[in-house]
Amino acid sequence: MSEETKNTTEEVVTTPEAVQETVNPAQFLATFNWHKYEEGIDEVDESKLAEFEKALEGTVGFVNERDVIEGTVTRITERDAIIDINSKSEGVISLNEFRYNQGLAVGDKVEVLVDKREDATGQLVLSHKKARVIKAWDRVNNAHETGEIVNGFVKCRTRGGMIVDVFGIEAFLPGSQIDVKPIRDYDQYVEKTMEFKVVKINHEFKNVVVSHKALIEAYLEDQKKEIIGQLEKGQVLEGVVKNITSYGVFVDLGGVDGLVHITDLSWSRINHPNEVVELDQKLNVVILDFDDNKSRIQLGLKQLSAHPWEALNTDLKVGDKVNGEVVVIADYGAFVEIEEGVEGLIHVSEMSWSTHLRSAQDFVKVGDKVEAQVLTLDREDRKMSLGMKQLHPDPWTDITSKYPVGSTHTGIVRNYTNFGVFVEMEEGIDGLVYISDLSWTKKIKHPSDFVSVGDKLEVQVLELDVENRKLNLGHKQTQDNPWDGHEATYALDSTHSGTIKDKNDKGATVTFADGVEAFVPGRLLEKEDGSKLGKGDSADFKIIEFSKEYRRIVASHTALFREEEKRNIKAAAKKAADVEKTTLGDIGGLAELKKKMDSKN
């Protein structure tokens, strides 16, 4: 104990009376040795400690905290590994930090981090785990900067990719960075060691992203340049189906992708490419075309086989019968495949002898087996037209004997227009009934007011044009013309009772007791009191016009009392004339009598 310490101690253990006499409380607290009181030893002067450590630097066994150095395993217990780093003491590391290395043995060299040169008990504190992390980040950063290829162990799957152990750091491998082709089974890579390239590091969040695809692309890029340099049109190459879409198939030619359009997969019509090829299938394709930099390569598969038209039977000619399957239907017709890759068109007009044009879907559907006759055949342009109706007799051949003019038949209403109704007499024979030939009495504004599609209608053949395949029919001609009797009933100046059915600005339509209708002009609706008849009113009407040819009757209500007025006026005028004649006669007689008397005198 130093002299100074002895003096201090002697002062402290003096009697209370002495302390009170020599030191006041403030001075005592200010000078009290608190470090010695708490730690049991005097506090070391920091400046002297720094000088001591500086003096130790460079000496054997001196280490700094946070240093990562190599140590040797000298002993292994049940829980710990004793590590010698050639310092003043050995360090102890828990075996938990060596779980990845189950084969740890005495004499192995391991990297450790000096956590503390000595703890409260003077023990050297080391960490193998922290040393691995620090070294791993150094290696990862270096690999990212230099582009070095590193090995990694695929630990497990995760959302969107895989977790990979790289130098002891968990890195993320996105699913899109596993391979250049789409991956459907991620589990095949779990617990495998693969090569990777560090593509991204986020130091803030300690995230590392690696890629295996980048290595493949780098390899393929070199290979691609070599392949592209050798590409020529017409060249046949082997490839693997990489992707299938609705419009075509992408084929991997060994680092270079090409597209086989759906129309170049098969000479036959197909609905989807998967009818011809499947994923990962190996096949030979021919190069059809590519752009200037050969980034877009057009491939063909069907071109490797002969065109079916070249193998078409040379004996096939116009007029021959063929069998086939309907593969495509359009409004204008149907395409029939008579041999694989050989199609013919059946126009809708060649499906039936009917002149009433309909949609091809009314006759056939996709997949139907049909028989047809070859109408035209162009081997050079690879076109063929077929017909179905030619296999059946033409119904117009003996039309004059089946439907002579004046004959009566029953047909089915198939369609109507503003001017008339189309009636089907039989398959292939349609006739037209003009709207004016539907009824003798009714005024029809549109045929739909009289008949409906599908109705049976009795008709009479009015006109037959065999050359132009036209048949003019009439429905009213199958019934007696009621206007023959109307001519006598509704004679001019005859009077009939009727009811106003409808009324407009021009006049009114009057219906008589037998259902015959007449037209009354507006000015002739005036009643005797000056008012006019309205819709629903019943009254007497006088016939002032009758036309059998145009089936027209014109009537007047006003004419009834106007005619009476005329008769009254005429009678009054006649009476007045008679009176005047009598008066004048009397005057004349007096004159004659006077003359006679004068002569006598």
In the prediction, which pLDDT does 117 show? 63
Contacts of 74 (CB under 8 A, 6+ apart): 82, 83, 84, 90, 106
Please identify, in words, the CATH class of the domain defined by 56-133.
mainly beta
Mean pLDDT of 127-133: 78
The per-residue pLDDT for range 250-260, each reduced to its tens digit, is 998 877 888 99
- Euclidean distance between CA atoms 131 and 138, whole angstroms: 11
Please identify, in words, the CATH class of the domain defined by 399-478.
mainly beta
In the prediction, which pLDDT does 122 show? 62
Tell me the pLDDT band of 371, cut-offs 50, 70 and 90: very high
Contacts of 280 (CB under 8 A, 6+ apart): 240, 241
Question: DSSP assignment, residue 397?
Answer: T
* Position 6 pLDDT exceeds 70: no
Burial of 228 (0-12, 13-18, 19+ CB in 10 A): middle
Are 291 and 259 in contact, with CB atoms under 8 Å apart?
Answer: no
Which H or E run includes 26?
helix 25-31
Query: For 393, how many CA atoms within 13 A lie in the half-sphere containing its CB?
Result: 6
**Rg of the chain over all Cα atoms, to the nearest angstrom:** 59
Q: What fold characterizes domain 147-216?
A: OB fold (Dihydrolipoamide Acetyltransferase, E2P) (2.40.50)
Least confident span in 10-24, 450-464, 580-594: 10-24
- Euclidean distance between CA atoms 465 and 468, whole angstroms: 6
Tell me the pLDDT band of 19, cut-offs 50, 70 and 90: very low
Residues of the chain with pLDDT > 70, as a percent, come to: 80
* Position 352 pLDDT exceeds 90: no
What is the number of other CB atoms lying within 10 angstroms of the CB of residue 213?
21
Give me the DSSP letters along 215-235: HHHHHHHHHHHHHHHH--TT-
Please identify, in words, the CATH class of the domain defined by 308-391.
mainly beta
Tell me the pLDDT band of 3, cut-offs 50, 70 and 90: very low
* Position 15 pLDDT exceeds 60: no
- Euclidean distance between CA atoms 372 and 207, whole angstroms: 72
Domain 231-304 and domain 399-478 have a common topology: yes
Tell me the pLDDT band of 1, cut-offs 50, 70 and 90: very low
The per-residue pLDDT for range 449-496, each reduced to its tens digit, is 889 988 999 999 999 888 888 889 999 888 877 777 777 788 888 899
Q: Which regions of 513-558 does DSSP assign to beta strands (E)?
A: 517-521, 538-547, 552-556
- Euclidean distance between CA atoms 129 and 288, whole angstroms: 60
Mean pLDDT of 587-592: 59
Domain 231-304 has CATH 2.40.50.140: yes
The per-residue pLDDT for range 391-419, each reduced to its tens digit, is 888 888 888 888 899 899 999 998 888 99
CA trace torsion 513, 517, 519, 525 (10° rounding): 20
Domain ranges of the chain: 3-43, 56-133, 147-216, 231-304, 308-391, 399-478, 484-544+557-601
Please identify, in words, the CATH class of the domain defined by 484-544+557-601.
mainly beta
Which H or E run includes 34?
helix 34-39
Are 392 and 371 in contact, with CB atoms under 8 Å apart?
Answer: no
Token pair 């029953």 is at which residue? Answer: 410
What's the whole-model pTM score?
0.42
